[in-house]
């Protein structure tokens, strides 16, 4: 089954309340794994490797609007903050958490060109495991 990008929503838990990051236009979820060489240099031309530690990050872009002091996006401007991220699939009848993890707000960028809609982006870097959904 194909998933429509409109149905992938990123939520953050900043003040004890889980809220969607409003007006997102695009989301990117990246997982990575280090590789560790294990072959001795005298065993030949080919390098053998094993999987090492894993990491993850999320980037999201959004339309910048008016934010009150308690809005999710406004509070995410505080880079360096550790938050809980939830990636959910939303359809007409369900809201299913697909992934969840603790992340650090690594970067916030807002671009505003005269005459155009202001755009913003966040980068979150995972701290610990990105776990499969629960609720």
CATH of the domain at 32: 2.40.30
Task: Give the per-residue pLDDT at 104.
Answer: 92
Q: Whole-angstrom Cα distance, residue 27 to residue 34?
A: 23
Question: In terms of residue numbers, what domain contains 39?
Answer: 5-132
Element (H, E) at 75: helix 72-76
Task: Give the per-residue pLDDT at 44.
Answer: 74
Half-sphere exposure of 109 (CA within 13 A, CB side): 9
Task: Give the per-residue pLDDT at 7.
Answer: 67
The CA radius of gyration of the chain, in Å to the nearest whole number, is 19
**pTM for the structure as a whole:** 0.75
Mean pLDDT by 10 residues, the chain (135 residues): 67 74 81 90 80 94 66 67 84 79 90 80 92 72
Task: Give the per-residue pLDDT at 115.
Answer: 77
If one counts every other C-beta atom within 10 angstroms of the C-beta of residue 5, the result is 10
Task: Give the per-residue pLDDT at 2.
Answer: 58
How many structural domains does the chain have? 1
């Amino acid at each position: 089954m194909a998933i429509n990008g409109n149905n992938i929503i990123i939520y953050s838990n900043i003040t004890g309340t889980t809220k969607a990051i409003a007006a997102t236009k695009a989301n990117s979820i990246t997982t990575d794994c280090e590789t560790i060489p294990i072959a001795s240099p005298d065993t030949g031309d080919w390098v053998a490797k094993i999987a090492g530690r894993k990491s993850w990050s999320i980037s999201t872009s959004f339309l910048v609007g008016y934010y009150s002091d308690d809005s999710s996006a406004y509070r995410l401007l505080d880079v360096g903050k550790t938050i809980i991220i939830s990636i959910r699939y939303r359809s007409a009848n369900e809201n299913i958490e697909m992934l969840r993890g603790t992340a650090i707000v690594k970067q916030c960028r807002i671009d505003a060109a005269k005459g155009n809609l202001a755009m913003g982006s966040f980068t979150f870097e995972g701290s610990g495991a990105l776990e499969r959904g629960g609720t």
